[in-house]
Each structure stands twice: as C-alpha cells, then as structure tokens.
Amino acid sequence: MSLFASLPHLVRRQRASLAATLIAPPAALAVAIVLNLILYMIMGRDPLAVLHAMVLEPFLSWASFSEVLLKTGPLLLIAQGLAIGFRAKVFNIGAEGQFILGAIFASAIPVWFPQATGGWIWPVMLLLGAIGGALWASITAFWRVRLNANEILVSLMLSLVAAQFLYYLLLGPWKDPAGFNFPQSVMFQYDAMVPTLIAGTRLNVSILIALALSIVAWVFMEKSFMGYKLQVGGLAPRAAGYAGFKESRAIWLSLLIGGFAAGLAGAAEVAGPLGQLQRSISTGYGYAAIIVAYLGALHPIGIIISSVVMAVIYIGGDNAMVSANLPIAAVRVFQGSLLLAYLIAVAFVRYRLEWPAQTSAKGSTP
C-alpha cells in the first residue's frame, strides 16, 4: 500500500472528556513556554534568565503585578465580548478597530470640553466609548446580514480604516495645539480620568468593571435564553433555523456585544493609563484578546484566567526585552506559538490519532 495509507489519521471521539478539555489550555501553555525557551537558547540567550524575567518577575513586586492587572482589564473586557460572538460562530476579528473607535468616542468629551468638571464625565466617556465600538461593529453586522459579506474580512479591514481615522484626527483636528506637533490630543482633565483603585499604582476601577461584566457574560451565556439561542446558532445552524431563531439577530447581537466591550476597553485605556488620545493606544489588545478568548475555552470563567496569563506575557515580555535583551517580536512569537499550541491541543480533545490496523494481528483470533 501507499505511504499515505500507513500514516495515522484523525478519528473523532465519541465525546470530549471534561478532564481533557480542562487540561488542554495549561498543556498548550507549557508547550509554548518550552518551544520559546528553545528558541531563546538558539538565539544565544540564557533561557533561565528569560524565564525568570517573563514568568516570575511580574509576580515578584506589587508594582509589576499591578501592571499585570492593568493589562488584564482591556484583554478581559474584549475577550468576554468576543467569546460570546465566537460561540455563536460569528467571527469578529476586528476588536482592534472597535477598541480604537471606543477610544476616539471617549476622547471627544475631554477634547471638545477640556474645561468641563464633574464626577459624571468619566462614566459618560466609558459609555460613549462602548457605543462607539458597537457602532463600528454594526457596519460589519450590516454588511454580513445584508450582503452576506464575510464578517472576518470586513471587521479586520475596518480595523485598518479605524487606525487611519485615528491618525487623521491626531494629525489634524484633534492635535494638541500646545503639543509641539506631536500626533496626540490634549492631556485629559482630572475628571476625565477613571479613578485609581490603589494609590501609587496605575490600576483603576475599569478592572472591577471588567470583572463585573464577566459575571454578566457568564449569566448571559449559561443562564439566559438569548445566550442559549446564540449557542444553538453556533453549534447547529440548521437547528436554529428549525426552531425559528433568526440568524440575522444572532449576528447583530454578537457583533454589537463584541463592539460594545471592545469600545469600552478602548475608552478605559485613554481615560486610564494613557490620559490622552495617542497613535499607540493599543498594543494589539484586539488581536491578543482573540487568543485570550480561545485559551479560556470561550467560557467566562476560563477567560478571566487566560486574560491574566496573557497580561503576564505582555509584562514579562517587556521585562525580558530589558533584562534579557529579547527583541520586541518575542512577545508576538510567544502569543502566536501559544495560539498554535492551543489549537493543536483542542484538536486532540475532540479527535484521537488512529494508526492503520495491523492486518496480520487481527481477524484470526481462535
């Protein structure tokens, strides 16, 4: 027989075991760490020093751990929103753009009313940001429902448009007149900033909002009928059609929720650690959140854990760049290999390898 016939093939398991489902993410993380350490060795770095900088240091001081939590906030928010859509098989890949629009919408208040004061400002900014993200996502939903335009492509390309729109604002109408021609807005007034949670750190209230919304997401997906309808649409679209659950509604809802959460995260970022609208408001949160969502098995609780893991990789990667002289691409490579390892792990949760039967051994049992 040919070579092809002697290779093992994937056979679908009768059902995935819960244990395997739970083990897959940490196993993927372990594999990704080992692979990357080998890579660092090949690059001539001391793997133990990198490991120390990346994995341990973020936990060693309160200052660096508060930075981990600070990064966790936007990742957690975006990933919770995206996961709801992913479970409905609506693939919003454009959270990055929705994040940017959220940041822009939120910035409108301090940019247009820099003198305004009052405790209402930052909540209104967050709300505006969420609305901005949802509006941006609604463009994708509209074309998907109207013309069946693929939401992956539309949302992804709209992210590039959003970035250009941001640059236009920063180079033109919203440029800080006293900013030495740097492409950034005015610094926001005090009331336009999300209150800090712990004095001496940059950690602010938005992490609590993210955790609260995680609980809301859990109730929505696990307890509500609407969340149930979304899951049916994702698992068995024809069953959704049979039951009369509208696909268009699932698409709208998924994208609006994803856009709302990403926009909120964008608003919290400019009204939090940044304090102004800049070119580099996002370090790829919108894309990293996709990995976070899947690493958390699209489950609200899992995502809380995976968003911390991803934040550690961000902070640890920054540390390693400084202390172990790693290139800036190292963090991206780590994220990429983590996603890849996870996808392979998940494949083995649902499938098993089967080697071709040893023909001589079987069939002749007495």
Partner 1 sequence: MTTPLLSLRGISKSYGPIKANQEIDLDVAENSIHAILGENGAGKSTLMKLIYGVEQPDGGTAVWQGEPLHLASPAEARRRGIGMVFQHFSLFETLTVVENIRLVVPGRKAELTERIRTLGRDFGLEVDPLAHVHALSVGERQRVEIIRCLMTNPKLLILDEPTSVLPPQLVEKLFDTLRRLRDGGVSILFISHKLEEIRAICDRATILRGGRVTGHVDPREHDAHDLARMMIGRDMPEPMPAVATEGGDKQLEIIGLSYTPDDPFAVPLSDITLSVRAGEILGIAGISGNGQSELAGLISGETVLGREQHDRIFMMGKDVGQLPAAARRKLGFAFVPEDRLGRGAVPEMSLVMNSLLTAHSLKLVNGGLVDKSRATAFTNDCIRDYDVRTPGPEAEAGALSGGNLQKFIVGREIMLAPKLLFVAQPTWGVDIGAASAIRRRLIALRNEGMAILVISEELEELFELSDTIQVLHHGTLSQPLVTRDTKAEEIGRYMIGASPMKASA
Check if the beta carbon of residue 24 is closer than 8 Å to that of residue 298.
Answer: no
CA–CA gap between residue 351 and residue 349 (Å, rounded): 6
Site string (18-47) toward partner 1, x via CB under 8 A: ------------------------------
Judged by CB under 8 A, the number of residues near partner 1 is 27
CB of 161 to partner 1, least distance (A): 32
Tell me how far, at minimum, the Cβ of 4 lies from partner 1, in Å: 13
In Å, how far are 21, 52, 167, 362, 363 from 359, measured between CA atoms?
A: 33, 51, 66, 6, 8
Taking the complex as a whole, how short is the minimal distance between the CB of residue 362 and partner 1, in angstroms? 5
Q: Which residues contact 110 (CB under 8 A, 6 or more apart)?
A: 116, 121, 125, 185, 186, 188, 189, 192
Q: Can residue 224 be called a binding residue for partner 1 (CB under 8 A)?
A: yes
Cα(164)–Cα(175) distance, rounded to whole angstroms? 14
- Under 8 Å between Cβ of 58 and 322: no
C-alpha count within 13 angstroms, C-beta hemisphere, residue 95: 38
Per CB under 8 A, does 14 bind partner 1? yes
The answer to whether 347 contacts partner 1 (rule: CB under 8 A) is: no
Q: Which is nearer to partner 1, 203 or 250 (CB)?
A: 250
Does 239 bind partner 1 (CB under 8 A)? Our answer is: yes
146 binds partner 1 (CB under 8 A): no
Residue 225 touches partner 1, criterion: CB under 8 A: yes
Nearer to partner 1, 41 or 219 (CB): 219
Buried b (16+ CB within 10 A) or exposed e, 167-176: eebbeeebbb
Tell me if 3 contacts partner 1 by CB under 8 A.
Answer: no
Please, which residue, 5 or 328, has the CB nearer to partner 1? Answer: 5
With CB under 8 A as the contact rule, the residue among 119, 238, 280, 322 that binds partner 1 is 238
Find, among 204, 212, 250, 207, the residue nearest to 231 by Cα.
250
DSSP three-state, residue 99: helix
Q: Report if residue 223 touches partner 1, rule: CB under 8 A.
A: yes
Range in contact with partner 1 (rule: CB under 8 A) among 50-58, 107-115, 181-189, 224-232: 224-232
What is the Cα–Cα distance from 92 to 342, expressed in whole angstroms?
19
Binding site for partner 1 (CB under 8 A): 14-15, 219, 223-226, 228, 231-232, 235-236, 238-239, 241-246, 357, 359, 362-366
